[in-house]
Structure formats: C-alpha cells, structure tokens
Amino acid sequence: MSLSRRNLIAAAAAFAGLPRSAHAATPREITWDDLIPPGVPYSEIIGEGEMDEQNDVWSPVFDANATKLNDALDGAYIKMPGFIIPIDISTKGVTSFVLVPYTGACIHTPPPPPNQLVFVTSKTPWPSDKLWDAVWVIGQMQHELQSTEVAETGYTLVADKMEVYVW
C-alpha cells in the first residue's frame, strides 16, 4: 500500500492535534506549601485540638482552611517529596499509602490537616524494606477529600514513578 504525500501530511497533522499524555510531560516539582491555596497561611490551618481520653489520642481541630485545596494542582502532573505511611502492603511491597510531609506524621503525632496529606496508589509496589526512606513521587494529582485508616486526605495521586529522595 502506498501513501500519497497529501495523505501522509494529513495523517501527521491529525496526530499532532491529539492531546499529549500527561505522562510524557516533565512533572512540575512542588513542595508541601504548594498544597495550600495561595493566600491561606499555614498558621491558619492548624487549630487547637482535644484529647480523646477513651482512645488516648490527641486529635487536632482544624478550621475550614484545612480542607481548602490548591485548584492549580487538580489534574497536574507533579513530582513531590515525602514519607510513606503504608495502607496496602504485601510481600511485593506497598501499593497504596498516605504521603506525609515528615517522618512519623499520623503515627506518632496527630495527623496534619487534610490539605497536607496525599493518598497515593502506586502502579509498581514500593519495596517494603525502603519504608523509612524519603521518596519522590511522580504522577497525576487530583483533588479528593477522603478518609483513610490513618487520617483525612485532601489529594490523591496515581504514582507513575517513585524514587528515593536524595538530600
């Protein structure tokens, strides 16, 4: 089968008009501060707190700013650092987890506010022997307030790639 030059140019133009996959793009590197909407100071998302004496746990009380999310990140292809709090773990590794800004968040201390937590599902399991390493997570982020076993999260992310964070 032979393609004419005109048909070849038309086919190339049609493919050029197709949307590019977010995965082919260079991820936008963000920090935890970027998760808070512009104009909302971090000091305004943390409330006092109260002691749950029955469960022997300190529970933070957040105001409405704790669930405000950065609209610019909804659908963005990003790269961000953090630490893993496993949710689904098997012999192959961790496939879903909460990405937190510091070691021990949600485990040894009250959880950060929802707009400082990301629920991540990984296409490739992260090795169980590297759970204490800081990681880079790369993928598409979405707004999604949800409740997990460890905390309320404000964002979700499907990780295309993960790597150890090098200081």
Chain segment 104-129, per-residue pLDDT in tens: 787 767 788 999 999 999 989 999 99
Rounded-to-integer distance, Cα 20 and Cα 23, Å: 8
Looking at domain 25-37+67-164, what is its CATH homologous superfamily?
Protein of unknown function (DUF3299) (2.40.50.870)
What are residue 97's DSSP bridge partners?
A: 86, 120
How much of the chain exceeds pLDDT 70, in percent? 84
What are residue 83's DSSP bridge partners?
A: 100
Rounded-to-integer distance, Cα 131 and Cα 83, Å: 8
Residue 16 reports pLDDT greater than 50? no
Please state the pTM of the whole predicted model. Answer: 0.79
Which of 74, 76, 80, 73 shows the shortest CA–CA distance to 138?
Answer: 80
Rounded-to-integer distance, Cα 28 and Cα 76, Å: 8
Q: Which of 18-22, 36-40, 138-142 holds the top average pLDDT?
A: 138-142
What is the rounded radius of gyration, in angstroms, for the C-alpha atoms of the chain? 20
Contacts (Cβ under 8 Å, ≥6 apart) of 113: 45, 46, 60, 62, 65, 66, 67, 154
> Average per-residue pLDDT in the chain?
84
Q: What is the pLDDT of residue 160?
A: 95
Lowest mean pLDDT among 9-18, 67-76, 155-164: 9-18
The domain limits of the chain are 25-37+67-164
How many C-beta neighbours within 10 Å does residue 86 have? 16
Residue 47 reports pLDDT greater than 50? yes
Read off the pLDDT of each residue in 25-53 and give the average, rounded to a whole number.
85
Q: Strand 135-147 to strand 93-100: parallel, antiparallel, or no bridges (unpaired)? A: unpaired
Helix (H, G, I), strand (E, B) or coil at 5: helix
What are residue 150's DSSP bridge partners?
A: none
Residue 50 reports pLDDT greater than 80? no
